[in-house]
Copies of this chain bind each other. A is one copy, B any other.
Amino acid sequence: MSVEGYDKHAFEPFAVTVDLAVFTIREDRLQVLLIERGEEPYRGRWALPGGFVLPRESTDDAARRELAEETGLDGSPDRFHLEQLRTYGDPDRDPRMRVVSVAYAALLSDLPEPRGGGDAVHARWFPHGDAPPLAFDHDAILSDAYERVCSKLEYTTLATVFCPERFTLGELQQIYEIVWGTGLDRPNFRRKVLATPGFVEPVEGPPRRTAGRGKPGALYRAGSAAALQPALLRPTASLSRGVRSIADGSRRVTLGVQC
């Protein structure tokens, strides 16, 4: 940017693309949207959705456009989150030419339509962890994106974008448990969420609802706060204090890939 000897044609052309790691929660699993490539290189391999940044378009706009094209969500005012992850710029990441890719992570509430991609390409949701090896360096991007999502749940209220507009605290807790792959203590989770001003707010007319049997829970919607002041940390899978051997295994549902 501040190079002195400047010449508009002193450099070889770079292509700039955006790649999207789109997450949602379907069928009690964290799932990622992947697209099957129809041509070389990596024909037949699955990859993250993405595409070229247009000449008069910001990278953010390109990411929004690709997200809309790929998922069919259009004027959806809320209920999703999109943020830049980082940029992948190895010279050999695409065998065709020099491509620098700005990766984005997107979080979506489960969509009404399975997918609305305009193109005739194959696209589907894969449970995170069941995804096949991806094209290019997309395995690394997806891995980075997953770690970002895990840690974002700790210090932001982003978990609510995975929920429907109205949700119970049990459903919100399930988001955390599914993404982190750990169990959480319900009473403590409840207190933590309710003690954080602006995390959730109770819905007025409390028409209760249930997700199976059991007592129906009170309904909430997302509040106005974005940050969790004391973070909601995921339990550390590592240290066990002292020599406590008893009472460890119990009901920790440690499935899923660790962060």
Contact = CB atoms under 8 A, between A and B. Distances in A.
Nearest to A49: B2
A84 B86 contact: yes
Contacts of A100: 14, 16, 53, 59, 100, 102
A17 interface: yes
Contact of A14 (B16, B229, B251): B16
A13 B10 CA distance: 12
Contacts of A79: 259
Range of interface residues on chain A? 35 or more
Interface string A1-37: 1111010101111111101000000000000000101
A81 interface: yes
Contacts of A121: 2, 4
Interface stretch (A87-95, A175-183, A186-194, A203-211): A87-95
A2 B63 contact: no
CB-based closest 9 A-B pairs: A83-B256, A59-B89, A13-B13, A3-B51, A227-B253, A82-B257, A2-B47, A1-B50, A12-B55
